[in-house]
Amino acid sequence: MEMKHEDGRFYLEDNDKMIGEITYSSVEDGVISLDHTYVDDDYRGQGLAGKLLNAALDFADLKSLKIVPVCEYAKASFKKKPEIRFLLTDNYQKLLKGEN
């Protein structure tokens, strides 16, 4: 299984078959949205969505990008893991904390 990256997505391949991906797009300078996370049914339950998310988080951190989570998996992950919230845009951090 190999993690790959191309503009707009990180994806996993197993024997040349795409088995999972997380897509992102530019919102504005310095901000990306995590748009969609997918894992093939045959590969679910192995933590692959988490590996894809971590690749996107590492990329954003390395490039000094802030994140707007759009897909449900990314939203849920940011709610569950306060330690990764530093990557969120300021307005999204406030929403998670219940501030206006």
Phi/psi for 43 (5° steps) reads: -115, 5
Print the domain residue range for 59.
2-97
pLDDT level of residue 99 (50, 70, 90 thresholds)? low
Average pLDDT over residues 7-31: 95
CATH number at residue 30: 3.40.630.30
Query: pLDDT of 43-52, one tens digit each?
Result: 999 999 999 9
Give the chain's domain count: 1
Specify the pTM: 0.91
Residue partners of 39: CB distance under 8 A and separation at least 6: 19, 20, 48, 49, 52
CA 78 to mean position of chain CA atoms: 10
Residue 100 has a pLDDT of 46
Q: Give residue 78's identity as a one-letter amino acid code.
A: F
Q: How many CB atoms lie within 10 A of CB 76?
A: 11
The CA distance from 91 to 69, in Å, is: 12
Which of 67, 17, 68, 64 has its CA nearest to residue 43?
17
